[in-house]
Amino acid sequence: MTEKQIAQWIKVNLGPIIQKALSQRPGKIYTEEWLGAMVQREVGFLIARYVEQNAKFDAICSLMRGDYSQRTGETEKQYHGFGFFQIDVASFPDFVKSGAWKDPLKTCLKAIDVLEAKRKYLETKSEYQELTNDQKCRAITAAYNTGEGNAFKSILAKRDVDFTTHNKDYSKEVWRFKDIYKSV
């Protein structure tokens, strides 16, 4: 699947769910294309894999595990991210252990709540207030990946907010996928 095809799959299959989640979290700054782009950044490669295997939507929902560490000894892979938004088990163990991550609406609501907590933390910092609106949104997005403390340290050091994110490009990639999502 191409990036455009993955974005189309997300828009068709998750777009209405994302819209519903956004309607349940009114007044937030997040948009369908922002959240859809996060899904593509987090698990687009998994979506492509399972769609190409002709997996049904419900099966794909329960297969969205990733961010794993290598096997240690004889144990299985240890997954750290769960659901379309890769909710972190170390940060949200009760949510993950409940199995709610298999429900795309619940996972989307959780992702909005996580983003909102990152935004609220960053908003308390005067250095964050000096950023443009786009830079603020990218900082929130980067914080989703690397943690709000790391994103803030990047802001303080006058580095790109992605400096400590995976591949140093998390929010840049989300913004790139956002443009693709808008175009499909």
pLDDT in tens, 20-30: 999 999 888 99
Amino acid at 82: F
d(CA 61, CA 103): 7
Looking at this protein, which amino acid is placed at residue 92? F
How many Å apart are CA 17 and CA 177, to the nearest integer? 18
| The predicted structure's pLDDT at residue 140 | 98
CATH code linked to domain 3-183: 1.10.530.10
| Gap between the terminal Cα atoms of the chain | 14
Q: Over pLDDT 90: what percentage of the chain?
A: 88
The stretch 40-53 carries a mean pLDDT of 96
Domain-by-domain residue ranges, the chain?
3-183
> Which residues touch 58 (CB under 8 Å, ≥6 apart)?
none
Dump pLDDT digits (tens) for 171-184. Answer: 999 999 999 999 99
Give tens-digit pLDDT for 69-98. 555 555 666 678 999 999 999 899 999 999
Among candidates 149, 179, 177, 180, which has minimal Cα distance to 163? 149
pLDDT band at 137 (very low <50, low <70, confident <90, very high): very high
- DSSP structural state of residue 168: G
